[in-house]
Structure formats: structure tokens, C-alpha cells
Amino acid sequence: MICVAPRPRPSGTAGSKGHLMRLWCIHPCYLDSKGLVACWREGLLACRVLRGETRGYKNHPQLERFRSQPDPAGMIDIYLLAIYREAKKRGYSFDLGKIEPGNSRRRIPVTDGQLEYELKHLKGKLKKRDRGRCVELAGVKVPRAHPIFRVIPGGVEPWEKQDGGRRAVTL
């Protein structure tokens, strides 16, 4: 398996402090170019974490859903395949050689509340960095899930850190 993560950014640069990994549950078609590239990079980092090849992010809550699978790193590779396909559709040149997606048909459950939360979160980011993309997504009320996820009813996932850094609480 070839799983290469990006080099860490020098201290003091954007994203070097307080960086939160985001492995989107919503379909990658909703992401802007920055979001898609970041998701690819962070997915490669997640791959290294799940293979024990790095010390950082070991306890990151977004990895819980992958760790619950029989082959966590394999599931990240399948997750990244959908990111790769979206990038290719847009004319980007992500390196497919960095992942080894299997052919598992296994799907990870995700709640509809999580998808709604992520769409709202993405729209908030897009208001600041890509107003055109934000306008394109204005009509989306019920987002599609990333192909690796199976949608089930429920609220925001308990591993999600919501505004203010608090974990979601499901009642």
C-alpha cells in the first residue's frame, strides 16, 4: 500500500495550528476546489493514521466511523476513490497511485442529521471563500451522501465537534 500524506506545514502558516480534519460525509460534488483538495489531503493523512504510520491525529473523532470497520484503512482508500473520481471529473490531477481501493461494497452508516449539519457547515465556509459556489448550493436542502455512506435517520453524529468545539450530544 502506498499511502502518502502531505508534509506538515511550517509553524505559523495557515492551518498549522488548530487544524481540524474534515472527512466529509456529504457527496464530494458539493465541495469547492479548496474543499476537495483539502479532503484528499486529509484523507491521505487519515490513511497513514489508521495504518499507524504517524503519531498525530491518532484519537481524532472523525476516524471513529472508519475504525469501527473490519478494514479501516481499506475503507479510507475506498472513501478517497470517490474524492479522486470527483477531482478527475473536474479536470484535477490527483494521484490514484497514492491509494489502493479494494472492491468492498460495505457501507458505513451516517445520519441524515449529520448530512444536514455538514451541508450547513460547508455553506458557511463557502460564504467566505466562494460565494458563487454558495449560490449554486442554495437550493440543496437534502444533500446526497458520499458513496461510502448509507444514510439512516438521526441527529448529528456524536463524534462531530460542533461550533464552539463541543461534541454533539444526541438525545
- Tell whether 22 is covered by a domain: no
Tell me the β-bridge partners of 151: 110
* Domain span holding position 83: 28-152
Domain count, the chain: 1
- Tell whether 119 is covered by a domain: yes
- Tell whether 170 is covered by a domain: no
- Tell whether 59 is covered by a domain: yes
CA–CA separation, 78 vs 105, rounded Å? 10
Which pLDDT does position 101 carry in this prediction? Answer: 85
- Tell whether 164 is covered by a domain: no
Which pLDDT does position 170 carry in this prediction? Answer: 35
- Tell whether 17 is covered by a domain: no
**Tens digits of pLDDT across the chain (171 residues):** 333 333 443 333 333 334 467 899 999 999 999 999 999 999 999 999 998 898 777 778 889 899 999 999 999 999 999 999 999 999 999 999 999 888 888 999 999 999 999 999 999 999 999 999 999 999 999 999 999 999 999 999 988 876 655 444 332
Which pLDDT does position 81 carry in this prediction? Answer: 96
57 backbone dihedrals φ, ψ, rounded to 5°:
65, 15
CA–CA separation, 147 vs 29, rounded Å? 11
Which pLDDT does position 61 carry in this prediction? Answer: 83
97 to each of 2, 29, 157, 158, how far by Cα in Å? Answer: 7, 22, 32, 33
CA–CA separation, 104 vs 37, rounded Å? 24
- Tell whether 148 is covered by a domain: yes
- Tell whether 13 is covered by a domain: no
Contact indicator for 100, 77 with CB cutoff of 8 Å: yes
Q: What is the pTM of this model?
A: 0.82
